[in-house]
A and B are shown apart, each in its own frame.
Chain A
Amino acid sequence: MIVAKRKPFEEIKESVVGAKRILVLGCGTCVAVCLSGGEKDVAILALQLKMALKLENQDVHIDELTIERQCDREFIEQIGTRVNPDDYDVILSMACGAGVQLLSDVFEHKVVLPALNTTFIGVAEKLGVWSERCSGCGDCILGKTAGLCPIARCAKQLLNGPCGGSVNGKCEISKEVDCVWQLIIDRLTRLDRLEMLEEIFPVKDWSPAGHGGPRKMVREDLKL
């Protein structure tokens, strides 16, 4: 899933200064699962904003709404069946950056602000802990790295790791961070495939990773 984290409250509050009617808009998919931007998170943020702005004697009306997905036009267009978007001068989006941008596209004349920082594509490790697994590099190498990604999980994105800073299974940048190359070596040892790493991994083509410009996927067979 796409993992996102709520921005600091002060930053959110600053961003809406001057607004008279705010719609706090949640997203029911990834950010709901990682407990950042779903229905409950919308309720909490809306309440916090109401209290904080009231304490400052600001007369602001705040409504809440959560739609299934903000990254899909079909769901955004349904907003109009539940509220009147023209009633608001600010839409405060609790989606990832993709959702914020599609809202901006659809509501051309409306201020759309982000309430979250989109952080990574990752997994829920355990309750309350999420960690990065994929950088979306556009050319998956997991088949060659024991199913563990050095692009997303090595601090230096080494393809021929580990570097000289790997100690006791941890990365040189922090004792909290696993050295993914240690994990790769351990796993390949278990699978009796360590010889895979004797070959020099070639230089990566970063153009599908976004360095070739903004990315787009087109499926001609699905186009109307």
Chain B
Amino acid sequence: MKSGSSLERILESGQFAVTAEAGPPKGSSAKVIQRKGELLKFCCDALNVTDNQTAIVRMSSLGGCLLLKELGVEPVLQMVVRDRNRLALQGDILGAAALGIRNVLCLSGDHQKFGNHPTAKGVYDIDSIQFIQMVKTMRDEHKFLNGEEISGDVPFFIGAAANPFADPFEFRVIRLAKKVNAGADFIQTQGIFDMARFTEWMKMARDKGLHEKTHILAGLIPVKSVGMARYMRNNVAGLSVPLEIVDRMADAKDPKEEGVKICLETIEQLKEVEGVHGIHVMAVAWEDIVPRIVEEAGLMPRPVV
């Protein structure tokens, strides 16, 4: 075991994993994150705490992770290189290790231009792939980026993001391979609506044997309304929402029900894709729906490891 986290144990034992996103509040209330933790603890193996997601300032991921951990929920610490240089990243990794956090997701981060502090200076001292490599070296060689020794263990299950829907498509699997080679133990993908493109990407990943070197968790974004579907189709770079999804949401008498249905159909298809080892549900501002989705997808009860 690299980290001993539940997520690692579930994935390493070949079971289908379920993770979800628990975004921290734009404020200091512990209750917001605790409520999400209580809501999702029985239907998920681990919860990702986002890190100033979409470049909007929120409670820190580390703070949120600790609140979840106190509830007995396993957190995934999301960290972006947009806001921290190599010193801060390594310091926070050690702090998280000391607090018993065992999963980390290494990300670039959305550009600060999109957030609520668009005049901020972006850090980008190292990139997400270099970050993965750095955490792996900290864990496996007990060494900082500069080669100095680290005292104590740094047991992390290292995650990375992958977006099969961004361009150039042919390069997406090469970049996935770079992340795996850098040390990504698991991958959480961008939300999947375009199943054709996802299965093509997975085939390319399998051709390179990547599905056996890392655990790919397929991303899902439950859609609440046709407005949300349209917005994602037109405005979110790197998200591919086929017109068919928008039309289904537009024609639905009960859009929320239709959204759940689309999500469940997607999960059924994903279960059949070789190399998909789990799902990651990003129900932004609709966390309440996650227990139902997991239940109706036949993924309950969650394994105890």
Residues of A within 8 A of B (CB): 155-169, 172-173, 179, 182, 185-186, 197-198, 200-204, 206
| B72 proximal to A (CB < 8 A) | no
Residues of B within 8 A of A (CB): 82, 86, 108-111, 113-114, 122, 124-130, 133-134, 145, 161-163, 165-168, 171, 174-175, 177-178, 181-182, 190, 237-238
- Do the beta carbons of A182 and B86 come within 8 Å of each other? no
* Cβ contact of A160, chosen from B125, B127, B238, cutoff 8 A: B127
- Do the beta carbons of A172 and B171 come within 8 Å of each other? no
- Do the beta carbons of A160 and B130 come within 8 Å of each other? yes
- Do the beta carbons of A164 and B178 come within 8 Å of each other? no
Residues of chain B within 8 A (CB-CB) of A201 are 129-130
- Do the beta carbons of A167 and B178 come within 8 Å of each other? no
- Do the beta carbons of B82 and A162 come within 8 Å of each other? no
Q: Chain A: interface secondary structure?
A: loop
In the bound assembly, the distance between CA atoms of A133 and B145 in angstroms comes to 29
Residues of chain B within 8 A (CB-CB) of A197 are 171, 174
- Do the beta carbons of A162 and B113 come within 8 Å of each other? no
- Do the beta carbons of A200 and B178 come within 8 Å of each other? yes
B127 to chain A minimum Cβ distance, whole angstroms, is 5
A171 to chain B minimum Cβ distance, whole angstroms, is 8
- Do the beta carbons of B130 and A159 come within 8 Å of each other? yes
Could you give 24 example pairs across A and B, Cβ below 8 Å?
A155-B113, A158-B108, A158-B128, A162-B167, A163-B128, A164-B161, A164-B165, A165-B111, A165-B166, A166-B166, A166-B168, A166-B237, A166-B238, A167-B166, A167-B167, A172-B110, A172-B114, A172-B238, A198-B174, A198-B178, A200-B129, A200-B178, A201-B129, A203-B134
A205 to chain B minimum Cβ distance, whole angstroms, is 11
Going nearest first, the 8 A-B pairs with the smallest beta carbon separation are A164-B163, A172-B237, A160-B129, A165-B237, A164-B238, A158-B127, A157-B124, A164-B166
In the bound assembly, the distance between CA atoms of A14 and B130 in angstroms comes to 47
- Do the beta carbons of B82 and A165 come within 8 Å of each other? no
- Do the beta carbons of B238 and A206 come within 8 Å of each other? no
- Do the beta carbons of A202 and B130 come within 8 Å of each other? yes
B131 to chain A minimum Cβ distance, whole angstroms, is 9
A156 and B124 in contact, given A164-B166, A200-B182 (Cβ under 8 angstroms)? yes
- Do the beta carbons of A161 and B127 come within 8 Å of each other? yes
Residues of chain B within 8 A (CB-CB) of A186 are 168
In the bound assembly, the distance between CA atoms of A162 and B175 in angstroms comes to 8
In the bound assembly, the distance between CA atoms of A161 and B179 in angstroms comes to 11
